[in-house]
Structure 1
Amino acid sequence: MKAVNRLFAMLGSLALLCIASGSVAEENIDTQATLSHFQAASQTQPFFDSAYGYAVFPSVGKGGFWIGGAYGSGTVYKAGTVTGSAKLYQVSFGLQFGGQSYSEIIFFQDKRAYERFTSGSFELDAQASAVALTEGAQAKAGTAGLSASSGQQFIDASYTNGIAIFTYAKGGMMIEASLAGQTFSFEPRN
């Protein structure tokens, strides 16, 4: 476990060095554009109506060759109000090659799920599942298996352990059959 934590810290430091500094205004524009995109998707609309809160990551960069990693920063909301910022770190092991960029949103069903996330030590293991939203096609992956559809079909997404996760691919190409886990940090808004 210590080796995994060190690997998360190393990848996080490397990601911080690789990311160009941007202004808060640019981050807000990206966050609002990403929120608008997720709010327009029929799959996520029910979650915006019922969720206690959510965390949105406008741009997560991911890459790997056998061992991979991902990093992104985002904004956390409760009842539609910004409560802080978050960082996403991911480490993956297995068959993988390439790089990609995606947006991610995590909905918190209730206060308990929100507080677990904002405690600062929230982790998603390989058993968590995410629904991928793309134009005309969707996919869902998790321990229950894989499913995909195209056109206007609706994916039956629901909360698992108080959270629901959606992603939207922005670009890149990655071939992957790996085991990954995400960890998050939270910084309350002052």
Structure 2
Amino acid sequence: MTMRWKAAALLLMVWSMIAMPVFAGWNPHEEERAKQTVRLFQKTDPSLSRFFEDAYGYTVFPDVYKGGILLLGGARGKGMVYEQGNVIGRSSITQINVGPQLGGQSFAEIIFFRTKADLDKFKQGSYELNAQLTAIVVSSGVATNTDYSDGVAVFAMPKSGLMAEASVGGQKFSFQPY
């Protein structure tokens, strides 16, 4: 494959992760997907119930799609934002990674906010998680020994795909209230 084709393939991959449908309003299907994801996380690790009970709010991303080739990759997904158990809006996640990587995968992610101030910071619409704060991969009992870091706890569950990487990046989020 020539360098021109590799560049075109990379551009197409990155564009497909960035181009997401425009939201036209509340969609009950999106909310149901978020509820299914919450149930899956709780079933996989019942000790996560303490986060659902104690957190002021949380954001659920049922499907985040991630891909990378050569030295550039990224991820994109959309989800629902909850405040004290009630849906208050939607969010999108965008991630850019730099470093050796190859492959693609999908995963689900939940971000818990300990206090109202932590959630309010997220709701400002330009929230970022840096590369030092990594998501805890959910398995049975993992939440027992996990706590908040700077008012946030992040859990992820791989769904499908295979990806090899040694990259650095961060996640950026948007918020749209209902």
Cα deviation, residue 125, structure 1:
0.8
Pick the structure with more strand per residue: 1
Alignment partner of 1:36 is 2:65: no
Name the TM-score, length of structure 2 as normaliser.
0.82
| Change beyond 3 A, Cα 1:155–1:175 | farther
Query: Residue 160 of structure 2 aligns to a residue in which SS?
Result: strand
**How many residues matched?**
162
- 2:65: which partner in 1? 61
Measure, in 1, the Cα distance between the counterparts of 2:147 and 2:135.
10
- 1:24: which partner in 2? 27
- 2:164: which partner in 1? 175
Alignment partner of 1:126 is 2:124: no
Deviations 1:35-80 (A, max 9, x none): 1112222241110110000000000000001210000000000010
Alignment partner of 1:164 is 2:153: yes
| Change beyond 3 A, Cα 1:27–1:16 | farther
Deviations 1:3-54 (A, max 9, x none): xxxxxxxx5x6435366x9x92432232111011122222411101100000
Measure, in 2, the Cα distance between the counterparts of 1:15 and 1:129.
21
Measure, in 1, the Cα distance between the counterparts of 2:176 and 2:145.
32
**Which segment drifts farther, 125-134 or 81-90?**
125-134
Cα deviation, residue 112, structure 1:
1.1
Q: Which structure 1 segments of 5+ residues have no match? A: 1-10, 137-151
Pick the structure with more helix per residue: 2
Cα deviation, residue 186, structure 1:
0.2
- 1:6: which partner in 2? none
Name the TM-score, length of structure 1 as normaliser.
0.78
- 2:177: which partner in 1? 188
Q: Conserved in 2, the CA contact under 8 Å of 1:96 and 1:174?
A: yes
Query: Residue 44 of structure 1 aligns to a residue in which SS?
Result: helix
Q: Which amino acid aligns with 2:152?
A: I
Query: Residue 19 of structure 2 aligns to a residue in which SS?
Result: helix
Q: Conserved in 2, the CA contact under 8 Å of 1:104 and 1:168?
A: yes
- Once superposed, which parts of structure 1, at least 4 consecutive aligned residues long, lie more than 4 Å away? 152-155
Query: Following superposition of structure 1 onto structure 2, how do residues 32-111 of structure 1 map, counting pairs within 5 Å?
Result: 32-40=35-43, 41-65=45-69, 66-111=71-116
Measure, in 2, the Cα distance between the counterparts of 1:181 and 1:71.
12
Measure, in 2, the Cα distance between the counterparts of 1:176 and 1:155.
28
Q: Conserved in 1, the CA contact under 8 Å of 2:48 and 2:143?
A: no
